[in-house]
Amino acid sequence: MDFSLTEEQRQIVNSVERFLERHLPPEEQARRDAQHDPPYHLLKVMADDGLLALPFPQAQGGLGSGWDTVALVQETMGRKGWMAASLFNRAVGFGGMSLMTYGTEAQKAALMPRLIGEGLLFALGLTEPQAGSDAAAVATRARRADDTWIITGRKSWISDAAQADFIVTVVRTGESASGREGLSILLVPKDTPGVSFTPLPKVGNNALPSYEIAFDGAEVPAEALMGEEGKGFVHLMSTLHYARAGLAAAVTGAAQRAVDLTLAHVTEREQFGRPIGKFQVIRHRLADMQMRVDQSRLISWHLAWLIREGLPSRRHAAQAKVIATEALQYVTQHGMQTLASAGYIIESEMQRLWRDARLYSFGEGSNEIQRNTIARELGL
Ligand X SMILES: Cc1cc2nc3c(=O)[nH]c(=O)nc-3n(C[C@H](O)[C@H](O)[C@H](O)COP(=O)(O)OP(=O)(O)OC[C@H]3O[C@@H](n4cnc5c(N)ncnc54)[C@H](O)[C@@H]3O)c2cc1C
Site residues, ligand X (CB under 6 A): 123-127, 132-133, 157-159, 202, 205, 210, 359, 362-366, 368-369, 372
Instruction: Please report how close the Cβ of residue 32 comes to ligand X at its closest, in angstroms.
Output: 16
Instruction: Please report how close the Cβ of residue 125 comes to ligand X at its closest, in angstroms.
Output: 6
| End-to-end Cα spacing for the chain | 31
Q: Are 373 and 318 in contact (CB under 8 A)?
A: yes
Instruction: Please report how close the Cβ of residue 190 comes to ligand X at its closest, in angstroms.
Output: 13
Instruction: For residue 346, count other CB atoms closer than 10 A to its CB.
Output: 9
Torsion of CA 297, 300, 302, 303, to 10 degrees: 180
Instruction: Please report how close the Cβ of residue 42 comes to ligand X at its closest, in angstroms.
Output: 18
| DSSP 8-state code for residue 93 | I
Q: Are 33 and 205 in contact (CB under 8 A)?
A: no
Instruction: Please report how close the Cβ of residue 193 comes to ligand X at its closest, in angstroms.
Output: 22
**Residue in 75, 128, 219, 364 annotated catalytic:** 364
Instruction: Please report how close the Cβ of residue 236 comes to ligand X at its closest, in angstroms.
Output: 10
Residue with smaller CB distance to ligand X, 290 or 366:
366
Distances (CA, A) of 363 to 127, 260, 348, 369: 11, 25, 24, 11
Instruction: Please report how close the Cβ of residue 373 comes to ligand X at its closest, in angstroms.
Output: 11
Q: What whole-number distance in Å separates Cα of residue 104 and Cα of residue 132? A: 28
Instruction: Please report how close the Cβ of residue 123 comes to ligand X at its closest, in angstroms.
Output: 6
Q: What whole-number distance in Å separates Cα of residue 212 and Cα of residue 297? A: 34
Residue with smaller CB distance to ligand X, 156 or 262:
156
Q: What whole-number distance in Å separates Cα of residue 79 and Cα of residue 320? A: 17
Instruction: For residue 181, count other CB atoms closer than 10 A to its CB.
Output: 15
Strands 270-271 and 274-275, by their bridges, are antiparallel
Residue with smaller CB distance to ligand X, 210 or 348:
210
Nearest partner of 76 among 98, 58, 96, 54, judged by Cα? 54
Strands 148-159 and 141-145, by their bridges, are antiparallel
Distances (CA, A) of 329 to 29, 116, 156, 196, 261: 20, 33, 25, 34, 15
Residue nearest to ligand X (CB): 132
Q: What whole-number distance in Å separates Cα of residue 315 and Cα of residue 303? A: 10
Nearest partner of 211 among 153, 169, 131, 157, judged by Cα? 157
Instruction: For residue 258, count other CB atoms closer than 10 A to its CB.
Output: 30
377 assigned to active site: no
Q: Phi first, then psi: give them for residue 183, nearest 5 degrees.
A: -95, 145
Q: What whole-number distance in Å separates Cα of residue 59 and Cα of residue 373? A: 35
The enclosing H or E element of 168 equals strand 166-172
Which residues are marked as active site? Answer: 364
